[in-house]
Amino acid sequence: MEPQLGVRLPERVVTDLESAPTLTEIERIAADFLNDIGFKQYSYYMARRRPHGERLEGYFSNFDRRWITRYLEKNYVCDDLLHVNARRSVLPFTWMPRSKGHIPARSAQVFSEAQDYGIRDGVAIPVHGPDTFALVTAIADGSPREREEILTYTRDAVTSLALHVHERASNVLEATGGAGLTDDAVLTERERECLRWVAAGKTSGEIGDILGIAEGTVGQHIANVRRKLQTPTRAHAAVRAMHFALIDAA
């Protein structure tokens, strides 16, 4: 992609987003445009506290699953300066880890490890509202110079995209109660059985013995659940399923 001054969000993208029926379709539309203007990785996260205290969440990303798993397991969100700054800022901002200056050691570790998964220079667009926080990130591709040019010439377009993505995604999530994170987030009875035992701390082998099925079959059911609920680990799948009442709380 050859960056051009004043890249704008095409009207067709806005129109497509306005009619997107699912989070999966919203992601596809956003990913296509981001790829066209030089961004190969991205993420969207939204959390909203609803009137009776329930928490509504939405998320999609094409970050390497190994990085997402490590990020969650190490609780890096507390030391991720991108996330910390997004919580404090109402304006979009760019970051370039190679010029991060003096920062806490653990924050530097987060930046360093992220680069191992191709997460380098990027733009972050925080969205704040009543009881709502959302964050869109897009990671530029190419050489250091190319990434700098992409961030310079496309920032307005990415910001506009992020606002439209969030508006549509939040409406879809409200309409589905958050269970519509994918097109097929409905679990089969066998998938729910496996996930209930995951929530109880059982291994795949133990679940297989309990249900009278092969350990590999259990693994396939759990993999299907993780795909449907868009979670990096089986434990996160169990937590999310309980949150959205797809299975009974343990």
DSSP string covering 90-149: SS-EEE-GGG--S--HHHHHHHHHHHTTT--SEEEEEEEETTEEEEEEEEE-SSHHHHHH
Q: Quote the CA–CA distance of 9 and 17 in Å, as a whole number.
A: 12
- The full length of the chain comes to 250
One pLDDT digit (tens) per residue for the chain, 250 residues:
444 457 899 999 999 999 998 888 999 999 999 999 999 999 998 988 877 667 788 888 999 878 887 887 777 888 899 989 999 999 999 987 655 567 888 899 999 999 999 999 999 999 998 889 999 999 999 999 999 999 999 999 999 999 999 999 999 888 776 544 444 567 888 998 999 999 888 999 999 999 999 999 999 999 999 888 877 788 888 877 776 667 765 5
Q: Quote the CA–CA distance of 97 and 113 in Å, as a whole number.
A: 11
Distance of alpha carbon 152 from the chain centroid: 24
Q: Quote the CA–CA distance of 229 and 181 in Å, as a whole number.
A: 6
Phi, psi dihedrals of residue 196, rounded to the nearest 5°: -60, -40
Q: Which domains does the chain have, with CATH numbers?
A: 11-176 (3.30.450.80), 189-243 (1.10.10.10)
- Do residues 73 and 231 make contact, with C-beta atoms less than 8 angstroms apart? no
Q: Quote the CA–CA distance of 173 and 181 in Å, as a whole number.
A: 8
